[in-house]
Structure 1
Amino acid sequence: MKVILAGYSKTGTKTMCEAFKVLGYNTYDMLENAYYLSDEWVKIITKGGTPEDFRRMYKGVDAVTDLPCYVFWEQFHEAFPDAKIILTIRDEDSWYPSMAKQWNQLNKSYLGWFVEAFSPSLWRIWYYRYHSYKLVSDVSSFPSNKKELFGETLIRKMYREHNSYVMQRAPKDKLLVYKVTEGWEPLCEFLGEEIPDKPFPHRNKGSVLLTELAQTNNIMKQLVAEALTTSSLLAVFSVFLGYRFYRGSFFQNILHPFLVSLIKK
């Protein structure tokens, strides 16, 4: 493990994930953690984990970003003491509306509903999603459509306390407090990397997370493909059942004469 991103969601985590990939780092973001390590994370969140668990789970991984990793940044660093820590920050008065906007868009996204309903892989990680979301939100009504963030006062307090705790507890020689608007130079200097010959990335601008992931992330592409396949199979099966029902004795002998009599009346 080379670097642990300890910044809260909506502080540029998707941008940082892309920047790490440009630098050649094998990076686990939110989807990778959910897809590959859901069972392990449910155990850690509900029962606890050891440094050995983290080392086993993230063998060969260079960087971690977003939920649930930033909540457990300290446990990551205990397992990987040589890793560097980056705390991405953002002005609170722009961060909270962006966080709330993304949460609401995720709950209202037709793409999200479609994938949730028809992707077997998302069914498999249901418990992971519940427990990981509960780290930063009120999901007591899950899986209804009334998933809401904690009240604004509380989530702002959580954001401030998280940033303050990281800045107090992280080793000063291993910590970079960083804004994604600063670009490549301070990031590459901190990581000891050459500045890439390409513009610094900017991802999830305007909270278009699911649409962007569906275009760029292989796991999300697979989830969408699963949902399309499952929904297509269900549609074919429904047509088949409808045909059998139409050809069956109940339709021919009872329902069809009844409908004809209604029409004649």
Structure 2
Amino acid sequence: MKVICAGLSKTGTKSLKAALEELGYNVYDFVENFQFLAHEWTKIIKEGGTTQDFRRMFENVDAVTDSPSCYFWDEIHKAFPKAKIIFTMREDEDTWAKSMWGQVQASNNPLLLFLFKFSPTFQRMQKWRDIFLTAMYGTCIKEHFFRPADFNMLLAKMTYRRHNAHVLQNAPKDKLLVYSVEDGWEPLCKFLEVDIPSTPFPRKNVRATLVKEFLEEHPIVSKGKREIMISFTVSAILLSYGVFRFYKSSPLTWMKEIPSYISRVWN
């Protein structure tokens, strides 16, 4: 582990992730933490963890960004004391809260809600997300098809205050960069002691565009869509067979056979 990004979500974390990847770092963000470390994170949040746990989780990772790793920056740094810490924050609390609220509402995307309902992978992701959001903010996102999502912004802002104060007061000053992605490459590359790229600094998730980009580009979404197609295909087959049996036998006889038929299908 070389870099720990301690800024909460909606402080430029996606742009920072893209910048670090352009500099050659292997970065674990929200999705990577879910894909490869969901079980470990669930254990840590529900039961607790040790320095050895974090060292084992991230021994082959160069950098971490966003939730839930940003919230556990201190514990990760104890496992990797030579790592540098980049702390991003917004100009003020209200600006952050407005941006966070926009992200929450963007999660009400119909396709994402459909994936949460019918894809086993996304059902696990939603459950995992709710576990760490509740641990961090004392609340979690509740999406709805026909009305705005719910999220307790009062509790979220209180977490933002406490988290920022903890980082600024306790992060080792010789290893800390307080950074805004608006500052671009120069302070970041100077802090990391690497050359400045010739390409423009990346800008990601501006005005909560992350969900749309994620649904269009990420391979895990394709996996979720395939799972939905399989689920619907199996359901259609079961329904068709049920209708066929209904017309071939009396309703009472057909209903008695349902449990044994389902058992044969799934076993």
- Normalising TM by the smaller chain, what interval? 0.7 to 0.9
CA contact (8 A) 1:116 1:123 kept: yes
Say whether the 8 Å CA contact 2:106–2:211 is kept in structure 1: no
Flag the 1:123–1:2 CA change in 2: closer, same or farther, 3 A: same
Letter in 2 for 1:101: G
1:105-254 map, 5 Å: 105-106=106-107, 108-125=108-125, 127-134=127-134, 135-139=136-140, 148-152=150-154, 154-245=155-246, 247-250=247-250
Residues 20, 27 of structure 1: 8 Å contact kept = yes
How far has the Cα of 1:18 moved from its partner?
1.2
Q: How does 1:22-171 map to 2 (within 5 A)?
A: 22-92=22-92, 93-106=94-107, 108-125=108-125, 127-134=127-134, 135-139=136-140, 148-152=150-154, 154-171=155-172
Residue by residue, what CA displacement relative to the aligned partner does 1:201-254 show, whole Å, maximum 9, x if unpaired?
111112122221123333344334433443344345444444544x43348xxx
Contact 2:88 2:180 in 1 (8 A): yes
| Counterpart-to-counterpart distance in 2, 1:193 and 1:225 | 41
The alignment status of 1:15 with 2:15, answered yes or no, reads yes
Higher deviation after alignment, 122-131 or 57-66: 122-131
Question: Using the alignment, how far apart are the partners of 1:133 and 1:214 within structure 2?
Answer: 21
**1:234 and 1:71, CA in 2 relative to 1: closer, same or farther beyond 3 A?**
same
For the residues of structure 2 that align with 1:50 and 1:192, how far apart are their CA atoms?
Answer: 30
Q: 1:186 to 1:239 in 2, by over 3 A?
A: farther
Superposed CA deviations along residues 75-107 of structure 1, whole A, max 9, x for unmatched, are: 00000111110111112332111101211221x
The CA deviation at 1:196 is 1.8
* 1:232 to 1:176, Cα distance in 2 relative to 1, 3 A: farther
SS class of match (1:132):
helix
- Calculate the TM-score normalised by the size of structure 1: 0.84
- Structure 2: distance between partners of 1:25 and 1:219: 21
Contact 2:142 2:151 in 1 (8 A): no
Tell me the distance in 2 between the aligned counterparts of 1:203 and 1:193.
22
Contact 1:42 1:127 in 2 (8 A): no
Q: Using the alignment, how far apart are the partners of 1:195 and 1:21 within structure 2?
A: 13
Alpha-carbon distance, 1:125 to partner:
4.7
Structure 2 unaligned segments of length 5 or more: list them: 252-267
Q: How many residues align?
A: 247
Listed one character per residue, the Cα deviations across residues 95-123 of structure 1 (whole Å, up to 9, x for unaligned) are 111101211221x2211111111222233
Summarize deviations over 1:111-161 as a string: whole Å, max 9, x none: 11111112222334554223112022524x968788632243x43232122
Separation (CA, whole Å) in 1 of partners of 2:58 and 2:166? 24
Counterpart for residue 265 of structure 2? none
Aligned residues of 1:136 and 1:149 also touching (Cα < 8 A): no
Shift of 1:40: 0.7
| Structure 1 residue 185, shift from structure 2 partner | 1.1
CA gap 1:217/1:188 in 2 versus in 1, 3 angstroms = farther
Distance 2:220 2:66 in 1: 16
CA distance in 1, matches of 2:125, 2:208: 23
2:257 is matched with none
Relative to structure 1, is the Cα distance of residues 81 and 13 closer, same or farther in structure 2, using a 3 angstrom cutoff? same
* Counterpart residue identity of residue 139, structure 2: D
Is the 8 Å Cα contact of residues 118 and 228 (structure 1) preserved in structure 2?
Answer: no
* Whole-Å separation in 2 of the counterparts to 1:209 and 1:241: 42
TM (normalized to structure 2)?
Answer: 0.83
How many angstroms apart in 2 are the aligned matches of 1:220 and 1:192? 36
